[in-house]
């Protein structure tokens, strides 16, 4: 796990990012290669697609040096039907 004093001052928000747009993958990798090591996401960002993007693009050996923060509790769109089951 990364120590708090090693977290970058600037982070990357992934609110509108997903795997469908190659530029999102390029931006995420550029951020990581540039020293940004805090990533903000949530399950409802593009219905979970931002989390898929992050998971696909962070190498296992790099994972220990990246702080990923996620949030829960806000349900939107068709996801409400999944929760009500």
Question: Residue 45 catalytic?
Answer: yes
Q: Are 44 and 25 in contact (CB under 8 A)?
A: no
Identify the active-site residue in 15, 30, 45, 74.
45
> What single-letter DSSP state applies at residue 10?
S
Closest alpha carbon to 18 in 47, 38, 40: 47
Tokens standing for residue 50:
């931002």
Bridge-based pairing of strands 12-13 and 38-41 is parallel
Distance from the Cα of residue 12 to its chain's centroid: 8
Residue positions annotated with a catalytic role: 45
């Amino acid at each position: 796990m990364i120590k708090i004093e090693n977290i970058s001052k600037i982070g990357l928000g992934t609110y509108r990012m997903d795997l469908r747009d190659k530029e999102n993958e390029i931006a995420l990798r550029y951020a990581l290669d540039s020293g940004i090591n805090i990533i903000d996401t949530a399950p409802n960002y593009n219905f979970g697609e931002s989390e898929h993007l992050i998971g696909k693009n962070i190498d296992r050996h790099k994972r220990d040096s990246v702080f990923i923060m996620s949030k829960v509790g806000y349900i939107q769109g068709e996801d409400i039907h999944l929760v009500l089951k």
